[in-house]
Amino acid sequence: MGRAGCRCNPVYDLIQSFLEAFQATITRVVLEDAGYHGLAARVELRLRASGLGMVLPCYPPDALALALRIGAPIYATASALAQAESTCGQPFLPSDVDVSRWVDRLNPEDF
């Protein structure tokens, strides 16, 4: 396959076709710490016919692309978030921020 003028990625169309054929829904994507390997991801599926759940390992960029394409929620474990860095080179969160207290003060209107 060469580069075409299309900005789409046909592999995601294929995956979406498989999901539809097997009546499966991506319920969520979870990013996890993979130690010195960086991040890992898992895609969690639910089969509509049987209600059976499945967990599939996936490369993080592919898992994120699938979740964004389908509109599935994306989660990250605390150990994965500990690796987060700001794109401007500053710490992700100031060290004096108590995240749990900040979350407790959030309201639905904040979103």
Helix (H) or strand (E) holding 11, with range, is helix 10-21
Convert the pLDDT of each residue in 54-92 to its tens digit: 898 988 988 998 899 889 999 998 888 887 765 665 555
| The two structure tokens encoding residue 96 | 């004096």
On whether residue 5 sits in a domain, the answer given is no
Please name the residue that has the structure tokens 């995956």: 15
Residues in the chain: 111
Q: Which of 39, 38, 56, 58 is nearest to 47 (CA)?
A: 56
What's the pLDDT tens digit per position in 13-43?
888 888 888 888 889 999 998 887 788 898 9
pLDDT at 30: 93
**CATH number, domain containing residue 95:** 3.10.690.10
What pLDDT is stored for residue 36 in this prediction?
79
Q: Would you say residue 48 lies in a domain?
A: yes
Domain of 53? 10-110
pLDDT at 2: 45
Contacts of 39 (CB under 8 A, 6+ apart): 31, 32, 33, 60, 80, 83
End-to-end CA distance of the chain: 42
pTM over 0.85: no
Q: Distance between CA atoms of 54 and 42, rounded to whole angstroms?
A: 10
Q: Is 2 within a domain?
A: no
